[in-house]
Amino acid sequence: MGVLIHLCLTFGMLSLLAVGGGTAVIPEMQTVLSSSFNIDHTTFVHVYSLGQLAPGPNMLMVLIFGLQIAGLLGAGTVLVSFFLPSSVLCLMVGRLWVKVGESPWRRAVQNALEPISIGLMCSGVWSVAKAAINGPLSAGLAVLSLVVILFSRLNPVYMILGAGAAGAYLMHLTGWQ
Amino acid sequence: MRQELSSADQRKGETVGLVSLFIEFLLIGAVSFGGGIVAYQKILLTEKKKWLSQDEFMAALAISQTMPGLNSVNLAVLAGDKLRGGIGALVAMLGLILPGATFVMIAGYAYSEGQDHPIVNLLLAGIAAAATGLLAAITYKIGSKHFQQIKPLVIIVATFVLMSVLHLSLIWVLLIMAPIALFLFRPRG
Is the per-residue pLDDT at B9 higher than 50?
A: no
In a domain, A148, yes or no: no
- What pLDDT score does B15 carry? 86
The whole-number pLDDT of residue B126 equals: 95
Distance from the first to the final alpha carbon of chain B: 50
User: With an 8 Å Cβ cutoff, are A106 and B125 in contact?
Assistant: no
pLDDT of residue B13: 55
DSSP B84-123: HHHHHHHHHHHHHHHHHHHHHHHHHHHHHHHTT-HHHHHH
Q: What is the pLDDT of residue B1?
A: 41
> Which positions in chain A touch B167 (Cβ < 8 Å)?
31
- Please answer yes or no on whether A90 and B31 come within 8 Å at the CB atom: no
Q: Which residues of A touch B63 (CB under 8 A)?
A: 90, 93-94, 97, 106
Average confidence (pLDDT) over B147-160: 96
**DSSP reduced 3-state for A135:** coil
Report if residue A77 sits inside a domain: yes
3-state helix, strand, coil in chain B (%, to 5): 85, 0, 15
Average pLDDT over residues B6-13: 45
Give the Cα separation of A109 and B160 in Å (integer). 19
Q: Are A41 and A30 in contact, with CB atoms under 8 Å apart?
A: yes
Residues of chain B positioned with their CB less than 8 A from the CB of A56: 28-30, 32, 37, 72, 96-97, 99-101, 103
Domain limits at A22?
2-101
Q: Is the confidence at residue B2, as pLDDT, over 80? A: no
pLDDT, one tens digit per residue, over B68-120 is: 999 999 999 999 999 999 999 999 999 999 999 999 999 999 999 988 898 99
d(CA B65, CA A139): 32
Average pLDDT over residues B142-146: 93
Least Cα distance to A53 among A38, A42, A64 occurs for A64
Mean of per-residue pLDDT scores for chain B: 91
One pLDDT digit (tens) per residue for chain A, 177 residues: 899 999 999 999 999 999 988 889 999 999 999 999 999 999 999 999 999 999 999 899 999 999 999 999 999 999 999 999 999 999 999 999 888 777 888 889 889 999 999 999 999 999 999 999 999 999 999 999 999 999 999 999 999 999 999 999 999 999 888
Nearest to B129 among A16, A141, A150 (CB): A141
Contact: B30, A138; criterion CB under 8 Å: no
Instruction: Report pTM.
Output: 0.91
Cβ contact B77–A87 (<8 Å)? yes
Nearest CA in chain A to B56: A98
Judge whether A153 lies within some domain. Answer: no
- Is A74 part of a structural domain of the chain? yes
In a domain, A130, yes or no: no
Q: How far is residue B87 from each of residues A89, A96, B10, B82, measured CA to CA in Å?
A: 15, 18, 23, 10
Q: Does B14 score more than 50 pLDDT?
A: yes
Contact check, Cβ <8 Å, A49/B130: yes
Residue A163 lies in a domain: no
B38 pLDDT band, cuts 50/70/90, is very high
Residues 6 or more apart whose CB falls under 8 angstroms from that of B71 comprise: A21, B38, B61, B64, B65
In this structure, the dihedral spanned by the alpha carbons of residues A131, A136, A137 and A139, taken in order and rounded to 10 degrees, is 50
Element at A58 (helix H, strand E): none
Quote the number of domains for chain A. Answer: 1
Distance from CA of A12 to the nearest CA of B (A): 11
CA–CA min distance A11, chain B (Å): 11
A110 belongs to a structural domain: no
Nearest to B133, CA basis, from A160, A164, A40: A160
Beta carbons of B124 and A64 less than 8 Å apart: no
